[in-house]
């Protein structure tokens, strides 16, 4: 249990990229601390796997397949929620290539998912947080943003 010092009962967290990797780990850790979840991923099978784990922890869990680059999809999901206390912007991809060989679509997809989605989600949840005069927004990023890596100019 990673968040055992925290009591997040009656709180709601929205986690993007919750089907795999860090997003999955964040969702499970929040549930272990008693937090109710709204989990988003591109793949329903991955969401079902996470939901099965966290429901054993006796927390509420709603899951949505969603394109995090689509503001209207995001807004529709968020408008269905009773509240959102925590947002974890975790969705991300990489499409590595040297910039001279990189396709414009690869550049744009990484920017849309890794950057624009953060804007879309943050903008969408701020109403809840301002109304409640509290909330936490956690943006997950890579150390590549600090140092850079060959072939990852769009990612960095």
Per-residue pLDDT of the chain (156 residues; tens, 9 = 90+): 667 788 899 999 999 999 999 999 999 999 999 999 999 999 999 999 999 999 999 999 999 999 999 999 999 999 999 999 999 999 999 999 999 999 999 999 999 999 999 999 999 999 989 998 999 999 999 888 888 888 888 888
Q: Residue 147: what pLDDT?
A: 83
Q: Residue 5: what pLDDT?
A: 80
In angstroms, rounded to a whole number, what is the distance separating the alpha carbons of residues 142 and 132? Answer: 30
Q: Residue 61: what pLDDT?
A: 98
Closest CA to 57 of 78, 86, 34, 41: 34
Task: Work out the number of other CB atoms within 10 angstroms of the CB of residue 145.
Answer: 12
Half-sphere exposure of 105 (CA within 13 A, CB side): 0
- Assign residue 149 a region (left: φ > 0; alpha: ψ between -120 and 50; beta: otherwise): beta
Pairing of strands 86-89, 61-65: unpaired
Find out whether 30 and 8 touch, Cβ atoms under 8 Å: yes
Which residue is catalytic, options 2, 6, 71, 155? 155
Q: Residue 70: what pLDDT?
A: 95
Q: Residue 1: what pLDDT?
A: 62
3-class state of residue 120 by DSSP: helix
- Asked about 71 being catalytic, the answer comes back as no
3-class state of residue 37 by DSSP: strand
């Amino acid at each position: 249990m990673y968040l055992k010092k925290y009591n997040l009962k009656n709180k709601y967290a929205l986690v993007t990229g919750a089907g795999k990797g860090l997003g999955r780990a964040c969702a499970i850790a929040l549930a272990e601390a008693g937090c109710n979840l709204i989990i988003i991923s591109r793949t329903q099978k991955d969401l079902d796997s996470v939901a099965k784990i966290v429901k054993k922890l006796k927390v509420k869990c709603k899951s949505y397949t969603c394109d995090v680059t689509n503001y209207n999809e995001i807004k529709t999901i968020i408008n269905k929620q009773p509240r959102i206390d925590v947002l974890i912007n975790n969705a991300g991809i990489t499409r590595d290539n040297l910039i001279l060989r990189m396709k414009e679509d690869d550049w744009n997809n990484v920017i849309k998912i890794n950057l624009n989605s953060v804007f879309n989600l943050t903008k969408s949840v701020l109403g809840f947080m301002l109304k409640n005069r509290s909330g936490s927004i956690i943006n997950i990023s890579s150390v590549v943003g600090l140092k850079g890596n060959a072939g990852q100019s769009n990612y960095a």
